[in-house]
Amino acid sequence: MLVCWLCLWRPDGGIAATQALPEEALACLACHSQHGLTMTFRNNESLEAYVSADAFRGSVHATLGCTACHAEFTPDHHPKLTFGSKDRFVKQAVLVCRQCHADDALKAKPIHAALLVKESGAPVCTDCHGAHAITAVAGGKTIAGEKQYCLGCHGHALIMMMKNSETVSLKVAPAALNASVHAKLSCFDCHFGFSSAEHPKREFRSGREFAIANADACRRCHFDKYSKTLDSIHYSALSQGNLKAPVCTDCHGAHAVVLVKTDKAQTARTCEQCHAAIYRTYVSSVHGKALVDTHNTDVPVCVDCHSVHSIQDPRTVDSREKVPEICGKCHANADLMKKYGLYPGVVNSYLDDFHGVTIKLYQKQKDANAATARRSLATCVDCHGVHDITKAQGPGTNLVKTRLVKQCRQCHAGATEDFPDAWLSHYEPSLKNAPLVFLIKLLYKILIPFMLVGLVLQILLHVWRYAMYR
């Protein structure tokens, strides 16, 4: 190999910074520290033969000469080798590692032992440790570029076998990891117990148990959110042995962790993973159509009604009685309702009429009869629907009226189809809506004060007459 020794000492850079390297390495780097050298394989793949002088000087192999690993090359003999592919070249090149790192020593670590068993398809040494910029991974030394180190293996198609013969992919997409809200965290922040020196082998009965066990790592940083899930219907199902109940990573992802609240449509699709039938019903409702068809973010999605982490069973009496409060988050908002031309007093009108007042009374009673009666009292969802909410006016009005009749008959046996028409709905009486009721109410507003004033005046006159003629 021809070497221009002057290049090693030129003042404008070159590889002058590598003077501490062995002379043999300096000679090789005279060419290989320059970009442009490439090796072409028979399948037309190519590999650049560039070596960073600074990176090699920081390597644990910096004291070795190049021929220690590349024994077929010498300053006087530089053979031209040919390989079918880049992959074949790499697998052939790393066999030299085993000259110093014997199988018995490698098997002492579980991570190496597992890879040696399936060596034909496993990552090779350089995938994890690098080729020329090899960093010490033991003795408490810091790894430069921890993610790159871990991705050396986990960037490949690794799988983990469960006891039930199920396989789980351990491949991590670097792009997804970098786009995650946890991009600044290190791998060991979540995968505690694992490090460059320690890589324990764990066994699980199934892939689901593996996912649930890994999700426990979230509570180390998000304990406030975790504590809320302890009261949720999901945690209750999980604690009773239902492994299908969702955990943190099912909603937020494992490595591609995203903030679900930033995209309402994505939030709804997250719930769809388990509640597909309900999601299909929701997207056909007045709320779902507005979200999907017009991307309207003012409409509620699953978490707006059911909450996020402390999700309660909506079938309980307490949950039913919270319905007016839930609906009121939007329908009692005067500005929001004005934006869509809707009446903002619907919730208050419900709470002030017979049904709303009755709920308040029964809530104060603790006896069994009150609990039974509370289940039958009508709330918003009984008339308007739960996930299949439709407009009360225009197309679909007949569906709302049918619901009303069905709900009314639970308490008012024999109610006809015209029975709901006797109700004033949620609107205040006016000359436009129920004018007769409006005029009667107006008459009472005038008549009752007049009668009360007359009654008080009559009493005062009786008292005065009694005092005068006593």
Q: Is the per-residue pLDDT at 238 higher than 90?
A: yes
* One domain for residues 291 and 425: yes
pLDDT of the residue at 453: 94
Mean pLDDT taken over the chain: 82
Q: Are residue 277 and residue 226 in the same domain, yes or no?
A: no
Q: Is a pLDDT exceeding 60 seen at residue 432?
A: yes
- The verdict on residue 466 lying in a domain is yes
Distance CA 28, CA 2 (A): 9
**pLDDT of the residue at 63:** 76
Within 179-332, where are the H helices? 187-190, 207-215, 223-229, 233-239, 248-252, 264-272, 276-283, 286-294, 302-306, 317-321, 323-331
The whole-number pLDDT of residue 207 equals: 92
285 in any annotated domain = yes
Q: Which helix (H) or strand (E) holds 169?
A: strand 167-169
Question: What is the predicted pLDDT for the residue at 257?
Answer: 87
Range of the domain at 439: 431-470
Q: Residue 372 has what pLDDT?
A: 67
* Mean pLDDT value of segment 373-396: 79
**Range 132-144 average pLDDT:** 57
Task: Note the pLDDT tens digit of each residue in 33-45.
Answer: 888 888 888 888 8
Strands 167-169 and 159-161: antiparallel
Tens of pLDDT, residue by residue over 198-234, are: 788 888 999 999 999 999 999 989 999 999 999 999 9
Do 417 and 270 share a structural domain? yes
Shared-domain flag, residues 318 and 466: no
Choice between 2 and 216, residue whose per-residue pLDDT is larger: 216
**What tokens does 423 get?**
């109700």
**Most confident listed range (122-131, 150-159, 206-215):** 206-215
Closest CA to 135 of 127, 144, 124, 126: 144
Q: What is the pLDDT of residue 119?
A: 55
Higher pLDDT, 332 or 12: 332
Q: What pLDDT was estimated at residue 427?
A: 73
Of all residues in the chain, the percent with pLDDT exceeding 90 is 26
Two structure tokens written together for 421: 């028409």
Number of domains in the chain: 4
Top pLDDT among 121 and 70 is at 70
Residue 396 clears pLDDT 70, i.e. is over it:
no
Q: How far apart are CA 246 and CA 234, in angstroms?
A: 6
Q: Is residue 252 part of a domain?
A: no
255 domain residue, yes or no: no
Residues 416 and 297 in one domain: yes
Residue whose tokens read 């031309």: 341
Residue 240 shares a structural domain with residue 294:
no
In the prediction, which pLDDT does 2 show? 35
pLDDT tens sequence across 68-117: 888 888 877 888 888 888 888 888 888 888 888 877 777 777 667 767 76
The mean pLDDT of 280-305, rounded to a whole number, is 93
Q: Are 204 and 210 in contact (CB under 8 A)?
A: yes
pLDDT value for 11: 35
CA distance linking residue 34 with residue 53, whole number of Å: 10
**Is residue 11 located within the same domain as residue 43?**
yes
Which residue, of 134, 169, 195, is where some domain finishes? 134
CA distances from 414 to 7, 166, 353, 409 (A): 104, 58, 22, 6
Residue 221: how many other CB atoms lie within 10 Å: 13
